[in-house]
């Protein structure tokens, strides 16, 4: 699928020294693209702990045109699970493989850090995002009924990176909390609409 | 105040109830949980207080004379101090929107 | 179970007027400015993860109290809508219909803050909290127009009361907040304190007034009247709630249907009053979620939703007569598999009807239900189910000990077993997710049952069966029964996976292979059960003749079991054969590179990793063991089989599948209940069941055609070669599309490629 990514683009890792500049640009890019609203602390949560899993695409004028935000931590005492939280590409730059390139960078960085698996959620109606991740080898593991604030359902997509991860037991008690919010996020600011941009 | 002192001071406020006034006139009252260099403040279990509109005051005054329920939001012990409040939970107030911070 | 809104909404805080606050603005600002970029001061127990959920004040997307600069404060908060204003009769019709739309949108899962609570009329009735019915009015001084103060008020009050009943029912059952329903009331009460008699009275008065009021056009008058009557009947319907077990009355729901018809015909008479609804009300509601727009649903969608709700409620009546466990399970599953899925209210009502106070349908104890199921499948006429500690009181008596063991079994198994039935009441996504968890419990339950079986087999002195060339074996009835439950669940995990569009096209050969693998395991298991029942039957005949008893006493029980096993076997053969056919078909498509693939060659995953991921629910299960990847790979790709062999396999299997589905259809949805043949049949549900089987049969025909097309392409005049790939185009239809006859059977659309063959140079 990849049209050649234009050579005038630079792909860089997030740099905490440039926090104020980068975060402002990211917020602008993402709020345009994703339906769920995120506060400044949503960015803090991801960037302070996993800034090295955040990648940016900058154009020749050094303006941000694409971003991927992720995290990586043990999942309920089980496998080391990567999570792709946000992905956005500026509209006029879509269709050039920028999103795929960014996601690949994030996945590669997680593999380097010994991730067992990577998961994410995407709106059922977002076929572009689904295609992107499925091309990379993600499988739909479950459907999540009315997952987003706008009432849309989602798929959980999973990429297994190591053998034997599927049999690692987690400490999850399915009957503990019948009304618990979805596994990876707090109640409202669902951390993971996937931007449209293959 | 150096960095260490600053942290000590702010740490002392954690868990206390703050009243934060915003640029639009609202006041937020909640438990202080977190802040940063830009004074973006997180409050938990917070309530939003808003000065009532003129018509609301008139209405409240009128209700005062009637046998309507007084136990809830519209605290009409005395009509003059009446601020309408509602629960809004966990919030972030961006530093540049803060006009005043009070400690309860 | 604690309702979710209580978790979220702490009690109202005492007004912040007690202590004198101290201004710390300067100190605070000074201190925070000394922090480095990125440095945080935070409560130790407060994590950044929690902070993710914080709403940002002054951000229009997150702050429901935000008022844009330049907006007039008073106008932004207050609507200058006058609830005492005169309304034309047509406007009243329009308002009633709009309110119904909001009510149904709430039923569909949207929060009150985006639906009914955007109505200024509803807001005025509920706030301040009325202490008497008299208090519940639009304004202190009632409108001079009776159309408003009588008719519209009665309508609104009854609507709120209906919501109260619906809210109470849903909130007391197992549901998923925000997925199925939003219980949040924003610190309002839905008039739950007031008895429904008040509401009927007000509605009756309104109807009386409308009927004699002369100034209203006849058509419009009828329209208002039918809306009031719908309100009355719908209130009565949801007021009835669990009492349906006693009343067995569907009258109210039936009347709703007839009024709904009248409503649909007169909706055009209404005039909308958009200014009577306002998003500004959200600024006054206690709310921990971002501001959200008013939900607008179309009249026809609202009417359709209510119509389905009523129809489902009427048909639900057909479940209420207990006619044995298998019939009960079939009826529940079939009703709840309707598309669209019955509304959350119906699903909640049914949950409560299925079991409350340890009683099934208010009639049968869960123990009896469990025993009936055991008797039907594995223990026809068995001492294990007859033993009773009340009758045998000597602890040394084996029968006493059997009874004790069985009591332990009931304690442990009754709830999980009832839950396998109740599970159908969850939303479709949750059904699959729940089964993925419960199947692990059943794996453990099976092992526990095996322990019990060993002890019971000693106590009941069960004679061993000698299989040719094998060791002596015993029946293990309880664990056999548990294994049967588990195999059903394993199959459902795969079938629900198809329904929820979980599988990528390239996974289809493997998943259908696995489905047939589970089915053949199940069939072998049923054979084993049958063998032991045959043996038990023989023993029974011998012993009853020696006791000079009439075998007719026990034979109906055996007959019932044989019949049940036969029905199960036919059904599973049908599934198995269809799965084998589709597996073979997909193997050929994959082998000739015409099966679409979601993953690209540059994907990160390997086949092995994808298998591991897909089989995750099956991995913790000890029996049947997960098929090792190498074996799966060999079997699922039919490694070593020639195309002709596979084509043959596909053709034979699809022929067998069609026969077996015919036979399944002929067997009918329900087994005859000899004990109570006079009960009312479940006609509507049976019809649903037949439609489902017929859809499956249509899918079978579709698959036959697909197989023929592939056969022609592979064995026809110009068979494919290395130089000339097979000339087929394959489309995997989407769930819900016309060419997808049944959600559980993904039949590929195969056609000859219209475009010219790729150059063979």
Tell me which of A111-120, B77-86, C546-555, C691-700 is least confident: B77-86
Residue A182 pLDDT: 35
The model's pLDDT over C173-218, given as tens digits with 9 standing for 90+, comes to 999 999 999 999 998 999 999 999 999 999 999 999 999 998 899 9
Residue C247 pLDDT: 93
For chain A, list residues whose CB is within 8 angstroms of any CB belonging to chain B.
39-41, 44
Q: Is B60 part of a structural domain of the chain?
A: no
Q: Is B58 part of a structural domain of the chain?
A: no
Q: Is B75 part of a structural domain of the chain?
A: no
Query: Do residue A39 and residue B34 have CB atoms under 8 angstroms apart?
Result: no
Instruction: Give the burial string for C711-738 (b: 16+ CB within 10 Å, else e).
Output: bebbeeeeebeeeeebbbebebeeeeee
Please tell me whether the peptide bond between C128 and the residue prior to it is cis, using omega within 30 degrees of 0. Answer: yes
Query: Do residue A191 and residue C605 have CB atoms under 8 angstroms apart?
Result: no
**Chains sharing 3 or more CB pairs under 8 A with chain A:** B, C
The model's pLDDT over C482-521, given as tens digits with 9 standing for 90+, comes to 999 999 999 999 999 999 999 999 999 999 999 999 999 9
Residue B64 pLDDT: 52
Distance from CA of A28 to the nearest CA of B (A): 16
How many interchain CB pairs under 8 A, A with B? 9
Distance of CA B65 to the CA centre of its chain: 28
Task: Give the domain extent around B88.
Answer: 3-52+83-103
Residue A177 pLDDT: 31
The model's pLDDT over C32-43, given as tens digits with 9 standing for 90+, comes to 999 998 899 999
How many interchain CB pairs under 8 A, B with C? 198
Q: Which residue has the tokens 């693998």?
A: C517
Nearest to C436 by CA among C493, C505, C494, C368: C493
Contacts of C500 in chain A (CB under 8 A): 142-143
Residue B91 pLDDT: 96
User: The whole model's pTM is what?
Assistant: 0.91
> In the beta sheet, which residues pair with residue A73?
A81
Distance from CA of C24 to the nearest CA of A (A): 24
**What total number of domains does chain B contain?**
1
Mutant choice from A27, A41, A48 vs B, greatest count of B C-beta within 10 A: A41
Q: Which residue has the tokens 């059943």?
A: C442
Looking at every residue in chain C, the average pLDDT score rounds to: 92
Looking at every residue in chain A, the average pLDDT score rounds to: 84
Asked if the model's pLDDT at residue C678 lies above 60, the reply is no
Tell me which of A146-150, C104-108, C418-422 is least confident: A146-150
The model's pLDDT over C351-407, given as tens digits with 9 standing for 90+, comes to 999 998 889 999 999 999 999 999 999 999 888 998 877 777 788 888 899 999 999
Residue A196 pLDDT: 41
Nearest to C55 among B9, B37, B90 (CB): B90
Distance in angstroms (rounded) separating the CA atoms of residues C152 and C205: 12
Query: Do residue A41 and residue B34 have CB atoms under 8 angstroms apart?
Result: yes
In this prediction, residues C234-252 reach a mean pLDDT of 95
pLDDT band, very low/low/confident/very high, at A114 (cuts 50, 70, 90): very high
Name which residue leads in pLDDT, B85 or C378: C378
DSSP element (H, E) containing C574: helix C555-591
Query: Do residue C56 and residue A49 have CB atoms under 8 angstroms apart?
Result: no
Nearest to C94 by CA among C274, C306, C351: C274
Contacts of A44 in chain B (CB under 8 A): 36
Residue B60 pLDDT: 58
Asked if the model's pLDDT at residue A1 lies above 70, the reply is no
pLDDT band, very low/low/confident/very high, at C675 (cuts 50, 70, 90): low
Residue B61 pLDDT: 58
Asked if the model's pLDDT at residue A3 lies above 80, the reply is no
Residue C673 pLDDT: 63
In this prediction, residues C280-289 reach a mean pLDDT of 87
Contacts of A41 in chain B (CB under 8 A): 34, 40, 42, 92
In this prediction, residues C541-559 reach a mean pLDDT of 78
Return the residue of C nearest to B26 by Cα. Answer: C65
C109 close to A (CB below 8 A)? yes
Distance of CA A106 to the CA centre of its chain: 9
Query: Do residue C613 and residue A141 have CB atoms under 8 angstroms apart?
Result: yes
Residue C563 has phi, psi (to 5 degrees) of -65, -45
Contacts of A142 in chain C (CB under 8 A): 429, 432-433, 500, 502
Q: Which long-range contacts (CB under 8 A, 24 or more apart) does C241-249 make?
A: C241/C165, C241/C169, C241/C349, C242/C349, C242/C352, C242/C353, C242/C356, C242/C362, C244/C316, C244/C317, C244/C320, C244/C353, C245/C320, C245/C353, C245/C361, C245/C362, C245/C363, C246/C362, C248/C317, C248/C320
Looking at every residue in chain B, the average pLDDT score rounds to: 81
User: CB neighbours of C527 closer than 8 A, spacing ≥ 6?
Assistant: none
Return the residue of B nearest to A44 by Cα. Answer: B36
Asked if the model's pLDDT at residue C535 lies above 90, the reply is yes
Asked if the model's pLDDT at residue C451 lies above 70, the reply is yes
The model's pLDDT over B11-39, given as tens digits with 9 standing for 90+, comes to 999 999 999 999 999 999 999 999 999 99
Mutant choice from B19, B22, B27, B34 vs C, greatest count of C C-beta within 10 A: B34
Residue A183 pLDDT: 34
User: CB neighbours of A58 closer than 8 A, spacing ≥ 6?
Assistant: A9, A10, A11, A12, A64, A65
Distance in angstroms (rounded) separating the CA atoms of residues C325 and C564: 11
pLDDT band, very low/low/confident/very high, at C79 (cuts 50, 70, 90): confident
Residue B79 pLDDT: 42
How many interchain CB pairs under 8 A, A with C? 159
- Domain residues of chain C, as ranges? 89-297
C140 close to B (CB below 8 A)? yes
Residue C136 pLDDT: 95
Residue A35 pLDDT: 76
C297 close to A (CB below 8 A)? no
Name which residue leads in pLDDT, C470 or C366: C366
Residue C552 pLDDT: 66
**Chains sharing 3 or more CB pairs under 8 A with chain B:** A, C
Query: Do residue B42 and residue A41 have CB atoms under 8 angstroms apart?
Result: yes
Q: Is B38 part of a structural domain of the chain?
A: yes
Going from the C-alpha of B74 to that of each of A171, B4, B71, C90, the distances in angstroms are: 46, 43, 8, 36
CATH of residue B25's domain is: 2.30.30.100
Residue C325 pLDDT: 96
pLDDT band, very low/low/confident/very high, at C676 (cuts 50, 70, 90): low
Query: Do residue A159 and residue C614 have CB atoms under 8 angstroms apart?
Result: no
pLDDT band, very low/low/confident/very high, at B76 (cuts 50, 70, 90): very low
Alpha helices for C173-217 (secondary structure H):
196-212
Asked if the model's pLDDT at residue C548 lies above 80, the reply is no
Tell me which of A119-123, C47-51, C721-725 is least confident: C721-725
In this prediction, residues C265-280 reach a mean pLDDT of 96
Nearest to C292 among A142, A145, A149 (CB): A149
Work out whether strand C728-731 and strand C749-752 pair parallel, antiparallel, or are unpaired. Answer: antiparallel
Work out whether strand B98-103 and strand C22-23 pair parallel, antiparallel, or are unpaired. Answer: antiparallel
**Quick one: chain B helix, strand, coil %, rounded to 5?**
25, 40, 35
Distance in angstroms (rounded) separating the CA atoms of residues C183 and C176: 10
Residue C2 pLDDT: 27
The model's pLDDT over C738-749, given as tens digits with 9 standing for 90+, comes to 889 999 999 999
Return the residue of A nearest to C433 by Cα. Answer: A142
Asked if the model's pLDDT at residue C573 lies above 80, the reply is yes
In this prediction, residues C2-24 reach a mean pLDDT of 53
Q: What percent of chain C has pLDDT over 70?
A: 94
Mutant choice from C37, C49, C54, C134 vs B, greatest count of B C-beta within 10 A: C54
Distance in angstroms (rounded) separating the CA atoms of residues C85 and C99: 18
Residue C735 pLDDT: 85
Distance in angstroms (rounded) separating the CA atoms of residues C301 and C539: 61
Distance from CA of B18 to the nearest CA of C (A): 9
C479 burial (CB, 10 Å; 0-12 / 13-18 / 19+) is: buried
Contacts of A37 in chain C (CB under 8 A): 56, 59, 61-62, 290
- DSSP output for C609-653: HHHHHHTGGGTT--SSPPPPHHHHHHHHTTTT--HHHHHHHHHHH
In this prediction, residues C334-362 reach a mean pLDDT of 95
Q: Which domains does chain A have, with CATH numbers?
A: 10-163 (3.40.630.30)
> In the beta sheet, which residues pair with residue B34?
B42, C42
Distance from CA of A97 to the nearest CA of C (A): 14
CB C400 within 8 A of CB C394: yes
Contacts of C286 in chain B (CB under 8 A): 86-88
Query: Do residue B100 and residue C130 have CB atoms under 8 angstroms apart?
Result: no
Distance from CA of A95 to the nearest CA of B (A): 36
pLDDT band, very low/low/confident/very high, at A172 (cuts 50, 70, 90): very low
pLDDT band, very low/low/confident/very high, at B62 (cuts 50, 70, 90): low
Q: What is the ipTM of this complex?
A: 0.90
Distance from CA of A175 to the nearest CA of C (A): 9
Nearest to B82 by CA among B91, B67, B70: B70
């Amino acid at each position: 699928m990849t049209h050649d990514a234009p050579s005038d683009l630079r792909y860089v890792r997030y740099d905490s020294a440039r926090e104020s500049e980068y975060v402002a640009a990211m917020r602008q890019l993402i709020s345009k693209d994703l339906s769920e609203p995120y506060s400044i602390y949503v960015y803090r949560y991801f960037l302070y702990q996993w800034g090295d899993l955040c990648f940016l695409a900058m154009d020749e004028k050094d303006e941000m045109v694409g971003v991927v935000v992720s995290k990586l931590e043990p999942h309920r005492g089980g496998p080391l699970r990567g999570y792709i939280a946000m992905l956005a590409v500026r509209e006029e730059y879509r269709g050039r493989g920028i999103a795929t390139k960014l996601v690949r960078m994030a996945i590669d960085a997680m593999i380097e850090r010994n991730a067992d698996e990577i998961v994410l959620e995407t709106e059922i109606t977002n076929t572009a995002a689904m295609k992107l991740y499925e091309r990379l080898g993600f499988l739909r593991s479950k459907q999540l009924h009315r997952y987003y604030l706008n009432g849309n359902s989602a798929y959980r997509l999973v990429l297994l990176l190591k053998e034997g991860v599927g049999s690692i037991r987690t400490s999850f008690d399915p009957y503990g909390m019948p009304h618990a919010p979805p596994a990876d996020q707090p109640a409202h600011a669902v951390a993971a609409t996937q931007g449209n941009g293959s | 105040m150096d960095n260490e002192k600053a942290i000590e001071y702010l740490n002392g406020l954690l868990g206390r109830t703050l009243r934060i006034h915003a640029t639009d006139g609202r006041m937020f009252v909640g438990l202080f949980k977190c802040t940063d260099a830009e004074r973006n403040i997180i409050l938990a279990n917070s309530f939003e207080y808003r000065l009532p509109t003129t018509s609301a005051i008139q209405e409240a005054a009128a209700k005062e004379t009637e046998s309507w329920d007084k136990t809830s939001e519209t605290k009409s012990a005395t009509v003059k101090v009446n601020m309408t409040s509602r629960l809004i939970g966990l919030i972030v107030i961006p530093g540049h929107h803060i006009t005043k911070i009070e400690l309860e | 179970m604690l309702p979710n809104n209580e978790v979220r909404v702490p009690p109202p805080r005492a007004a912040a007027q007690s202590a004198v606050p101290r201004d710390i603005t300067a100190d605070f600002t000074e201190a925070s400015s000394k922090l480095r970029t990125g440095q945080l001061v935070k409560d130790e127990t407060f994590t950044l993860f929690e902070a993710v959920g914080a709403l940002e004040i002054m951000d229009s997307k997150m702050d429901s109290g935000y008022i844009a600069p330049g907006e007039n404060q008073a106008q932004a908060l207050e609507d200058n809508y006058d609830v005492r204003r005169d309304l034309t009769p047509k406007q009243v019709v329009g308002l009633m219909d709009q309110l119904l739309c909001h009510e149904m949108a709430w039923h569909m899962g949207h929060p009150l803050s985006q639906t009914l609570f955007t109505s200024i009329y509803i807001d005025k009735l509920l706030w301040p909290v009325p202490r008497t019915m008299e208090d519940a009015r639009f304004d202190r001084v009632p409108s001079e127009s009776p159309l408003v103060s009588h008719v519209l008020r009665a309508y609104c009050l009854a609507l709120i009361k209906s919501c109260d009943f619906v809210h109470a029912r849903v909130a007391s059952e197992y549901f998923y907040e925000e997925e199925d329903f939003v219980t949040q009331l924003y610190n309002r009460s839905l008039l739950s304190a007031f008895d429904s008699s008040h509401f009927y009275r007000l509605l009756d008065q309104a109807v009386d007034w409308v009927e004699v009021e002369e100034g209203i056009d006849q058509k419009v008058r009828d329209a208002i009247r039918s809306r009031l009557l719908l309100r009355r009947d719908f209130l009565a319907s949801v007021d009835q709630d669990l009492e349906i077990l006693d009343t067995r009355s569907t009258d109210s729901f039936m009347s709703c249907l007839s009024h709904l018809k009248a409503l649909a015909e007169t909706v055009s008479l209404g005039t909308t009053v958009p200014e009577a609804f306002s998003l500004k009300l959200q600024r006054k509601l206690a709310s921990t979620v971002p501001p959200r727009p008013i939900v607008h649903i179309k009249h026809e969608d609202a009417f359709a939703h209510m119509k389905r709700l009523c129809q489902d409620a009427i048909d639900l009546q057909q479940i209420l007569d207990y006619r044995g466990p298998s019939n009960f399970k079939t009826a529940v599953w079939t009703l709840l598999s309707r598309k669209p899925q019955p509304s959350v209210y119906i699903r909640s009502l049914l949950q409560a009807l299925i079991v409350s106070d340890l009683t099934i349908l208010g009639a049968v104890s869960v123990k009896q239900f469990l025993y009936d199921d055991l008797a039907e499948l594995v223990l026809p006429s068995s001492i294990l189910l007859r033993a009773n500690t009340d009758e045998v009181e000597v602890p040394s008596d084996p029968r006493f000990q059997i009874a004790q063991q069985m009591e332990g079994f009931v304690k442990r198994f009754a709830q999980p077993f009832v839950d396998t039935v109740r599970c159908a009441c969850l939303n479709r996504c949750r059904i699959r997710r729940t089964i993925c968890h419960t199947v692990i419990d059943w794996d453990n339950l099976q092992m526990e049952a095996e322990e019990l079986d060993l002890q019971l087999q000693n106590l009941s002195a069960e004679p061993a069966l000698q299989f040719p060339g094998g060791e002596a074996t015993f029946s293990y009835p309880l664990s056999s029964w548990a294994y049967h439950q588990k195999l059903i669940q394993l199959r459902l995990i795969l079938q629900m996976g198809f329904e929820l569009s979980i599988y990528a096209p390239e996974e289809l050969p493997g998943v259908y292979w696995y489905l047939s693998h589970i089915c053949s395991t199940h069939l072998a298991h049923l054979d084993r059960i049958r063998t032991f029942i045959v043996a038990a039957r023989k023993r029974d005949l011998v012993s009853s003749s020696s006791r000079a008893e009439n075998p007719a006493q026990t034979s109906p029980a055996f007959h019932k079991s044989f019949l049940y096993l036969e029905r199960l076997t036919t059904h599973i053969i049908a599934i198995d054969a269809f799965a084998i056919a589709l597996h073979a078909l997909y193997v050929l498509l994959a082998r000739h590179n015409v099966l679409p693939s979601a993953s690209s060659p540059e994907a990160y995953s390997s086949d092995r990793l994808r298998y591991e991921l897909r089989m995750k629910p099956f991995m913790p299960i000890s029996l049947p063991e997960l098929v090792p990847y190498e074996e799966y790979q060999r079997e699922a790709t039919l490694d070593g089989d020639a195309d002709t062999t596979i084509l043959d396999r596909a053709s034979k299997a699809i022929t067998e599948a069609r026969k077996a589905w015919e036979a399944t259809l002929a067997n009918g949805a329900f087994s005859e209940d000899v004990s109570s043949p006079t009960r009312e049949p479940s006609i509507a549900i049976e019809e649903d069941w037949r439609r489902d089987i017929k859809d499956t049969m249509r899918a079978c025909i579709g698959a036959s055609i697909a197989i023929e097309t592939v056969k022609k392409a592979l064995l026809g005049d110009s068979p494919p070669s290395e130089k000339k790939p097979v000339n087929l185009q394959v489309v995997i239809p989407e769930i819900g599309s016309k060419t997808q006859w049944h959600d559980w059977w993904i039949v590929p659309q195969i056609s000859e490629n219209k475009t010219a063959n790729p150059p063979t140079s």
